């Protein structure tokens, strides 16, 4: 057994000698393994940009990594794998339990009793190379849960530029999330310069890591002397729903 600082120094030395140059290999297993080491030893802030993981947008810039957004991205990848393999006996819960059990007992595969509950699961994981990525994704997700001190992260999924854009708000609203998912699936939105746009209209500022998105129902009073039907109804019956709200600037 080696002390923590010694073990941390080994990957830190490797990443430091890379001189900020991104890995040329697109081998997902290698990149995910290195990401898992970075998270375990607290090296992700300085070196995450070295990894070639295009599905994780939050890793693009060193020193600016949003671990909550990364947790959502990893969770989405695990969910997509589960959805494609819904008939499989290997489940996310079983893999999580295996990781916890292995961490607790410091077990090695070849030393596991054949009759243990973990042995058949390990055989299934070894039988298909695709499970190598899956196991690492679940492992990374568990590390991010510890870092963020949260099992789940509330987020909005907005479709921009033909792909889903994950937005983590300060104050999450389920109704707002449902509306954004519905409206962006029906209309074409884009993201330019940190703004979610519809045509040339700026709708949401997403430059902040945790933007504020609020929806309001607004009715404008007419600037002319012409009376609308709503105004007439209000004058006659003073219906409570017809009381004009203060117009927002712009």
Give the tens place of pLDDT for each residue, 56-114.
888 876 557 888 889 888 988 988 888 887 667 787 778 877 777 776 555 454 555 66
Tell me the range of 28-32, 96-100, 122-126, 127-131 where mean pLDDT is highest.
Answer: 28-32
Last residue of a domain, one of 10, 38, 65: 65
Structural domain boundaries enclosing 161: 156-205
Query: Cα–Cα distances in Å, from 15 out to 23, 26, 141?
Result: 10, 17, 22
- pLDDT above 60: residue 210: no
Return the axis-axis angle of helices 130-148 and 67-84, rounded to nearest 10°. Answer: 150
Output the pLDDT for position 231: 44
For 148-161, what is the mean pLDDT? 79
Residues 107 and 175 in one domain: no
Query: Cα–Cα distances in Å, from 172 out to 33, 195, 211?
Result: 32, 19, 10
Residues 140 and 162 in one domain: no
- Give the total number of structural domains in the chain: 3
pTM above 0.95, yes or no: no
Angle at 133 between CA 127 and CA 139, to 5 degrees: 110
Percent of the chain with pLDDT over 70: 73
In whole angstroms, give the CA distance from residue 65 to residue 39: 11
Residues 173 and 149 in one domain: no
Residues 139 and 87 in one domain: yes
Percent of the chain with pLDDT over 90: 8
pLDDT tier at 149, thresholds 50, 70, 90: confident
Q: What is the mean pLDDT of the chain?
A: 75
Residue 229 lies in a domain: no
pLDDT tier at 232, thresholds 50, 70, 90: very low
In whole angstroms, give the CA distance from residue 4 to residue 6: 5
Residue 214 lies in a domain: no
Residues 140 and 98 in one domain: yes
Residue 220 lies in a domain: no
Residue 233 lies in a domain: no
Residues 76 and 149 in one domain: yes
Residues 52 and 130 in one domain: no
Output the pLDDT for position 33: 92
Residue 227 lies in a domain: no
Output the pLDDT for position 212: 63
Residue 42 lies in a domain: yes
Residue 23 lies in a domain: yes
Cβ 12 vs Cβ 37: under 8 Å: no
Q: What would the two tokens of residue 42 be?
A: 């607290």
């Amino acid at each position: 057994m080696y002390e923590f600082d010694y073990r941390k120094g080994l990957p830190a030395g490797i990443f430091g000698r890379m001189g900020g140059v991104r890995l040329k290999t697109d081998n997902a297993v290698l990149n995910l393994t290195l990401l898992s080491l970075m998270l375990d030893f607290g090296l992700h802030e300085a070196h995450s940009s070295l990894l070639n993981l295009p599905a994780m947008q939050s890793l693009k810039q060193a020193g600016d990594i949003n671990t909550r957004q990364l947790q959502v991205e990893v969770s989405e990848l695990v969910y997509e794998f589960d959805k494609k393999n819904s008939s499989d006996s290997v489940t996310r819960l079983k893999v999580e339990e295996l990781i916890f059990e292995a961490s607790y007992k410091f077990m090695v595969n070849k030393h596991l009793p054949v009759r243990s509950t973990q042995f058949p699961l390990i055989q299934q994981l070894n039988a298909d190379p695709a499970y190598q990525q899956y196991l690492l994704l679940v492992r990374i997700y568990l590390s991010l849960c510890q870092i963020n001190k949260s099992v789940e992260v509330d987020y909005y999924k907005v479709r921009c530029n033909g792909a889903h854009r994950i937005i983590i708000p300060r104050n999450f609203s389920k109704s707002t999330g449902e509306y954004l998912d519905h409206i962006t699936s029906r209309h074409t939105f884009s993201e330019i310069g940190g703004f979610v746009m519809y045509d040339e209209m700026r709708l949401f500022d997403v430059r902040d890591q945790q933007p504020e998105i609020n929806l309001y129902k607004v009715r404008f009073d007419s600037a002319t002397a012409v009376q609308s039907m709503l105004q007439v109804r209000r004058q006659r019956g003073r219906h409570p729903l017809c009381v004009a709200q203060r117009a927002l600037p712009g």
